[in-house]
Structure 1
Amino acid sequence: MKGQQTLFKQVKWLALIALAIFLSGCFDSADKKIQVKLSGRTMGVDYHITYVDVAKNSEKVARTRQTVIDDLLKTVNKQMSTYDKSSELSLFNQSTSLEPFTVSENTAKVVKESIRLAELTEGKLDITIGPLVNLWGFGPNMRPETLPDAAALAHAKSLVGIDNLSVTANTLTKAIPELYVDLSTTAKGFGVDVVADYLTLEGVTDYLVEIGGEVRVSGKANPVRDWVLAIEKPISTHRAVQEYISPRDNGLATAGDYRQYFEEGGKRFSHIIDPDDGMPIRHKLVSVTVIHPSCMTADGLSTAIMLMGPQDGLKFAQAQNLAAYLVTKTDSGFETVYTKPFESYIVKSIQ
């Protein structure tokens, strides 16, 4: 139990801890440009940012930018965390009022996009799934001592439904007092977008922003090379590369069930809960990567496709013309399939 609780604590939204700023070597001697690397902690995960800047005053500018970035991410955390009981979202969840509840523009934006994605995916992405996430031990209360029984499952399911949530301007409204919203499927991607947008406003044209595996890139890593990322092989024993890709001025998000799970009675229970039956997913699709201009949208869509399963998920991605990469577990290993729009992002060889 202690080891499982430690695993689940890794997904907590934590206070930001700025770690370090690193400046890498010059790659353009004429303009004296360098890669600036920032790293830190947010939403219970590490973040890494790399951007290209001129060498002059780059360290001083980087320290100022990291302070701003930490403040931006701390604000997102204070708005949308379900682990911080005083966050906007937590206060909304604690309220039993059916009157409009005022939130920040950011929270309203993420909820609005989440509702749009719920409609697009016919309810597979449902941010009101919080009661089921908590019931199965993947929320703030961690793992329950016993598996949910039929009565508890039925009660939690009765509290779930995207139709019970509405957003108007900067207000959220519940249709039932017990409604509980969990933005873990879109908020981290939104945090990536917030940082990327800030760097763009700063005039930075070449950057890579990564928070817990969700990414957005712009421009190039250096004058002759795009940013190249690795899709992780979906195994829990060690880290290995499944595919190299270059998202090119896009966001990227990967959903998978191979790191956040628990085992009970010889069965494995994923942290990804299907709102249709209230159970952890049980199909063989183990990883989905989506590339989209918005990391927030990619974040939500990758989870939705994971919920759909290998066949329905692929059909959905193709119908929506999404750039999606799916990995399915088979008896002989892993089988990969990707949509036509994704093909152009695959890096054939690494020099």
Structure 2
Amino acid sequence: MGTRYSAIFFAPDGIDESAIGAALLAAADKVDRQMSTWKSDSDLSRLNATPAQQWVEVPAELMTVLDTALRTGVESGGAFDIGVGDLVNAWGFGPAGPTPDEKQTSALKRHVHKPAFEVLEIDHVGKRVRKRAAIALDLSGIAKGYGVDALARCLDGFGITRYLVGIDGEMRAKGHKPDGQAWAVAIEKPLRHVREVMGVMELEDAAIATSGDYRHWVEVDGMQHSHTMSPSGRQPARNRLAAVTVVMNDCMLADAWATALLVLGDVTGVELAQKRGMDVLFVLRDGDGFREVSIVDGQRQP
């Protein structure tokens, strides 16, 4: 997935750390082999390459992610959409290369887009998927979160009850440290070119995911464009939000919803988070600085 994974855990003396390390690597590698658009032989790439109307058998893990992605797409009103692979590539964020293709981005902006939940059909009994129309799928907004959950399940399998696992900015915690303290996760200030801590969030039996416009972006004609795509606008999302951090029980959903809320913006996104009773930290660009909007159990905090 083009990044690192980490696992910090407390376990009894004598536990086979090499076996745990090997299992964690296998868990992360399995997600990468199934869901990466950067691997031409991944299951996702195979699905993308298959013509419309043809059924494709997919592994159970990939089917779970696809199913969750489509459901989140519906619940977010299309703000979360895995059918934006063409946009991701055209803007230079995919395997096609790091340079935006102006001709292609202009053409895609005029293109009538159908969201993935209208195009993709899942046959749970037959464990297969088909596209009703041509579409390029990209799981960048959900696969890392699923990978974090896979790392957590791996440690659960070893009977480990106190850990913090993560892939990039997505993390999941279980239990607490031996001294009784919760796991502390730093929240970065959404600054480009600089890494600076804005605050710290404590986690215990919860997952956290952040989406923002400040780590992966391109500059075109003096304007900076985020890697997060607006499905309806057919271009990179552009609003007042610099970052969205979501806390949920599992990281796959937190990852997807952080992306969806970032796309929706500081008005519609905040309203939906409140309506759904979510725990979310919105960071808005406010002049030369930032302003925070915190939602806890759906209630806006003073």
> For this structure pair, what is the TM-score category when the shorter chain's length is used for normalisation?
over 0.9
User: In the alignment, which residue of structure 2 is the partner of 1:239?
Assistant: 195
Structure 1 residue corresponding to 2:283, chosen from 327, 336, 347: 327
- Mark the structure with the bigger radius of gyration: 1
Counterpart mapping for 1:204-219 below 5 A? 204-219=160-175
| 298, 305, 312: which one aligns with 2:268 | 312
Partner of 1:108: 63
SS at match of 1:225: coil
Residue 129 of structure 1 deviates from its aligned partner by: 1.0
Match of residue 79, structure 1, among 26, 34, 37: 34
Q: Are 2:183 and 2:202, in contact at CA under 8 Å, matched by a contact in 1?
A: yes
8 Å contact kept, 2:173–2:205: yes
Q: Which runs of 5+ in 2 are unaligned?
A: none
Question: What corresponds to 1:279 in structure 2?
Answer: 235
Alpha-carbon distance in 1 for matches of 2:275, 2:267 = 12
1:44–1:150: structure 2 CA closer, same or farther, 3 Å change rule?
Answer: closer
Looking at structure 2, the residues matched to 282 and 145 of structure 1 have their Cα atoms a distance apart, in angstroms, of 17
Distance 2:263 2:233 in 1: 11
Distance 2:235 2:151 in 1: 34
Q: 1:202 aligns with which of 155, 158, 164?
A: 158
Q: Secondary structure at the match of 2:11?
A: strand
1:173-195 per-residue CA deviation (whole Å, 9 max, x = no partner) reads 1011x221111111110000011
Distance 1:83 1:341, change over 3 A: same
- For residues 9 and 185 of structure 2, the distance between their equivalents in structure 1, rounded to whole angstroms, comes to 15
Q: Which residue of 1 aligns with 2:8?
A: 50
User: Following the alignment from structure 1 to structure 2, what is the Cα–Cα distance between the partners of residues 331 and 129?
Assistant: 31
Q: Distance in 1 between matches of 2:55 and 2:260?
A: 28
Distance 2:56 2:248 in 1: 31
> Residue deviations 1:6-50, cap 9 Å, x none?
xxxxxxxxxxxxxxxxxxxxxxxxxxxxxxxxxxxxx11111110
Measured after TM superposition, the shift of residue 152 of structure 1 is 1.7
Aligned AA (1:98): Q
**Counterpart secondary structure, 2:297:** helix
Q: Match for residue 172 of structure 1?
A: 129
Q: Percent of pairs identical after alignment? A: 31
CA distance change for structure 1 residues 302 and 151 in 2, over 3 Å: closer, same or farther? closer
Give unpaired runs (5+ residues) of structure 1.
1-42, 344-351
CA distance in 2, matches of 1:338, 1:127: 27
In the alignment, structure 1 residue 249 sits paired with structure 2 residue 210: no
- d(CA) in 1 for partners of 2:129, 2:247: 29
Give the CA deviation at 1:97. 4.1
Structure showing greater relative contact order (alpha-carbon pairs closer than 8 Å, 6 or more residues apart): 2
State the TM-score, normalizing by the size of structure 2: 0.94
Residues in 2 aligned to 1:202 and 1:98: alpha-carbon distance in whole angstroms? 42
Q: CA deviation at 1:237?
A: 2.6
- CA deviation vs aligned residue, 1:63-106 (integer Å, no higher than 9, x gap): 11111111111111111111100011100101114122100000
Change (3 A) 1:157 1:83: farther
Query: Contact 2:70 / 2:116 at 8 angstroms: preserved in 1?
Result: no
Per the TM alignment, residue 316 of structure 1 is displaced from its structure 2 partner at its CA by 0.7
**Distance in 1 (alpha carbons) for counterparts of 2:150 and 2:66:** 15
